[in-house]
Amino acid sequence: MTLDDIKLQINYYHKNNQTITALYWLLKKFELKTKNLKCFSVHEAAAPNFILITTEGAFRERQVVKIPKNIFEFSLELMLTLIAHELVHVS
């Protein structure tokens, strides 16, 4: 699957308000799953020039990754990098 194919799939999920589904699909696609990820939580939309993804929970326990509801309006490459970064904290 090419990056363009992945972007099409993510765009489909995003347009159909399936942000959480898209996130788990990306985790599976890029083999980013970790046992310490409790879930994703969607919060208010990020400003066009600023995005924040955070992790909540105790160190070495299952954690929640909080993402803005418009996460996929930003560059997919950047979002994958940020998600992978947060999953390092979760692991």
The 10s digit of each residue's pLDDT in 15-60 is 999 999 999 999 999 999 899 999 999 999 999 999 999 999 988 8
**Distance (Å, rounded) from C-alpha 49 to C-alpha 63?**
27
**Distance (Å, rounded) from C-alpha 91 to C-alpha 89?**
6
What is the pLDDT, as a whole number, of residue 91? 84
Q: Per the structure, how many domains does the chain have?
A: 1
CATH number reported for the structural domain that contains residue 52 in this entry:
3.30.2010
CB 52 within 8 A of CB 46: yes
Antiparallel, parallel or unpaired: β 63-68 and 54-56: antiparallel
Q: Does position 11 have pLDDT exceeding 90, yes or no?
A: yes
What is the pLDDT, as a whole number, of residue 46? 95
Q: Of 52, 43, 45, 36, give the one whose Cα is nearest residue 87.
A: 36
Look up the domain containing 37 and give its range: 3-90
Count Cα neighbours of 69 within 13 Å in the Cβ-side half-sphere. Answer: 6
Mind listing the pLDDT tens digit for each residue in 67-91?
999 999 999 999 999 999 999 989 8
Torsion angles phi and psi, residue 38, rounded to 5: -75, -50
